[in-house]
Amino acid sequence: MDSQITVPLSTVADSYLSCRHHAKRYHMSTQSVSQIQNPALVNLIIARHAERFGSSPTITVAAPGRVNLIGEHTDYNGGFVLPAAIDRSVFLAASPRQDDLVQIHSADFNADVSFSLRSICRDTDQEWSNYERGVATVLQEAGQRLRGFNAVVGGNVPIGSGLSSSAAVEVATAYALRTLNDLDLDLVTLAKLCQRAENTFVGVNCGIMDQFVSALGRAGHALLIDCRSLDHRLVPIPADMSIVICDTRVKHELLASGYNERRAQCEEGARVLGVKSLRDVDWPTFERRQCELPEAVRRRCRHVVSENRRVLEAVAALEASDLAEFGRLMNQSHDSLRDDFEVSCPELDVMVTAALQLEAVYGSRMTGAGFGGCTVSAVRPESVEHFQAHVASEYEAATGRVPSVYVCHPADGVRLI
């Protein structure tokens, strides 16, 4: 079980002895607070648990956000993606109760909720809590027996920026419940249940990528995922490539409606071409039969079919340490997302253009669902500071907005602290 994260157990404080017991049983990865990117935030969340509930937490879980290096809008088409977990996480400090009550405090929103495991409903006032509610619901629907718990949740994954803070909350919650209730759940099953929670309870028809890499990521690696079979393998990130994320700080209202429209267009394309999903269409077949598709559907399908091919070529490039080729594929991906899938926006395009003005940049593209959010760039490590200053200056001059620009390192998936 959990063969992807067989990392030696770290030494932790005496108050986490029960955490060590569970870690040994499940071969979980653990990490000391000092190894976390933001130990002060972790200590704050642990202290908040003591303030709110009168005792230290039994366990503290970290679940990372993610950046998708290449493979956009391919996941729900049964295709290939290449994300990496990042060193920004959602942290959840929790302790068990002897009844079926759940009490959660959000450090990010400074808000509290409580509900019974016997009757879980969506919360239209404190919508942030629907991720935890959804996870508890699907675990019980899957036959898992849960007891109540107290928890404090917060993190440093930017909310609403396309770095999957929601999936990190879901995975952190599921991992905490697995540990507190001694559940026999492997990480692949855990990720699938978290996706189901977002699909059926939260109401977002997302693919599996976000939850999967938050659960199964590994430091220093990206994770190639076949979103149909869930076959996956680690892909090393070369040492001479830094991953820099640029947050445009905008999110256009087209996101929800645009996402649903494009998903429907992909399904229409698959129907016309007589396949279960666009994953089943190779490039020669698309070229031969594209004239059968309506214009907008044709362009959506062209992106997905070509993007699947780009992902596999990008993996080969990384494994050969051919970063020039990897960057070229990133640039092609952005062009396809902008022109064929039409999910970019002026702010994202400005950010990519500014990045590609520098010779030290291998490649740059939008990442996430689109219509705002973030770009991801592959940059020579010695030029990262210059990159950050240049892109921030160019973006602010063009848009009047001050972006967030930060370096992210591929990190381990969900783990105990």
Q: pLDDT-based confidence at 292, cuts 50/70/90?
A: very high
The answer to the question of residue 49 being in a domain is yes
Angle (CA) 402-396-41 rounded to 5° is: 20
Angle (CA) 330-336-339 rounded to 5° is: 140
Three-state DSSP state, 327: helix
210 is catalytic: yes
The answer to the question of residue 102 being in a domain is yes
Which pLDDT score, from 0 to 100, does residue 35 have? 54
Task: Report residue 266 as tokens.
Answer: 């992909």
Three-state DSSP state, 114: strand
Count how many domains the chain has: 1
Q: pLDDT-based confidence at 32, cuts 50/70/90?
A: low
The answer to the question of residue 338 being in a domain is no
Does the reported pTM lie above 0.75? yes
The answer to the question of residue 127 being in a domain is yes
The answer to the question of residue 205 being in a domain is yes
The answer to the question of residue 318 being in a domain is no
The answer to the question of residue 406 being in a domain is no
Neighbours of 82 (CB within 10 A): 23
Supply the range of the domain harboring residue 163: 3-71+81-237+412-416
Residues 299-334 pLDDT 10s:
999 999 999 999 999 999 999 999 999 999 999 999
Residues 66-110 pLDDT 10s:
999 999 999 999 999 999 999 999 999 999 999 999 999 999 999
CATH code of the domain containing 53: 3.30.230.10
Q: pLDDT-based confidence at 38, cuts 50/70/90?
A: confident
Task: Report residue 304 as tokens.
Answer: 């997905």
Among residues 210, 247, 340, 412, which one is catalytic? 210
CA-based nearest residue to 85, from 416, 414, 410, 417: 410
Which pLDDT score, from 0 to 100, does residue 159 have? 81
The rounded distance, in Å, linking the Cα atoms of 92 and 108 is 12
Dihedral sign (CA 91, 127, 203, 256): negative
Bridge partners of 405, per DSSP, are 246
The answer to the question of residue 243 being in a domain is no
The rounded distance, in Å, linking the Cα atoms of 235 and 74 is 18
Residues 116-145 pLDDT 10s:
999 999 999 999 999 999 999 999 999 999
Contact 363, 329 (CB under 8 A): yes
Contact 235, 221 (CB under 8 A): yes
